[in-house]
Amino acid sequence: MKLTAEQLDRFNTHGYLFFPGLFKPDEVNTLLDAVPALYSRQEAYNVREKGSEAVRTNFAAHLYSEPFARLARHPRMVLPVQELLQEELYMHQFKINGKMAFEGDVWQWHQDYGTWKNDDLMPTERAMNVAIFLDDVNEYNGPLMFIPGSHRKGVIDAQHDLTTTSYPLWTVDNALITQLVQRAGGKNGGIVSPKGPAGSMILFHSCLVHASTSNLSPWNRVAVYLSLCAASNHIRRHKRPEYIAHRDFTPIECLPDDCLRTAYPVDLPWKDGMPASALETSIEPLALAA
């Protein structure tokens, strides 16, 4: 899937691209059918909502689930990001965010690169997010909200919020959010929220400021979030567990386009359980070869 000149210009201007219905219903169902079994596991990689058993985020499913291992190598997802970053990519983070009906909590305003820089010592913002809807996303079930063009401000000072939700984020303060929204158009487009059917895909810049509200609707909003990083831009610290910030910087090799319909063999290094080493952390920078 090659991006057009218009799409490249739109990405540079707004910081994101939206592809409604890119994955077909049978491809989405292959993924969605695997989610309940993943969410049922009592493992560290399932982060639950505060005061609830509802899963907020499942991490690293591509290391132990065949359908998601194939998605992690899908050319419709990998190749556009590779084109934008002009380099081979590795998987920095892999999440299946729950945002379950009535229980899905907020994600505060933040830049993803803020967390990757502060916690993981990722050198630059040469990384990108891909969101793939596994449920229909509407205005009621907690859709993503973007501030268009906010990626052009670069890395923003952020505060480490350890209390609002069950998952800590480096968040942007309200005064700056107000300024960014005004600059982007205020009530006339200063906040946008891509919505569409299951199978839709969003690519967005790692510095694009975004958030989502709680889900008070009776409809789940499950989505996969894949964070792809330029291989040369890999993280320099293992402050977070490996199931959150991955340590294998091997470039991704794509499978054929029908990989969600065909059972191509994939490596599942954690299929028999997450290794103890995945929980080991360090605040020291990595010793890199000269």
What is the tens place of the pLDDT at every residue in 247-267? 999 999 999 999 999 999 999
Phi/psi of residue 107, each to 5°?
-115, 120
Domain count, the chain: 1
Between 154 and 54, the higher pLDDT residue: 54
User: Which of 10-14, 111-115, 171-175, 247-251 has the weakest average pLDDT?
Assistant: 171-175
- Tell me if 98 is assigned to some domain: yes
Q: What is the CATH number of the domain that holds 218?
A: 2.60.120.620
On whether the pTM is more than 0.85, the answer is yes
Cα 151 to Cα 112: distance, rounded to the nearest angstrom: 11
Between 76 and 159, the higher pLDDT residue: 76
Cα 148 to Cα 210: distance, rounded to the nearest angstrom: 9
- Tell me if 285 is assigned to some domain: no
- Tell me if 220 is assigned to some domain: yes
Work out the average pLDDT over 115-126: 93
102 is in which domain, residue-wise? 5-279
Phi/psi of residue 164, each to 5°?
-60, -45
pLDDT of residue 154: 74
Cα 278 to Cα 45: distance, rounded to the nearest angstrom: 10
Q: How far from each other are the two terminal CA atoms of the chain, in whole angstroms?
A: 36
* Number of Cβ atoms within 10 Å of the Cβ of 32: 18
- Tell me if 288 is assigned to some domain: no
- Tell me if 290 is assigned to some domain: no
User: Which of 127-131, 155-159, 211-215 has the weakest average pLDDT?
Assistant: 155-159
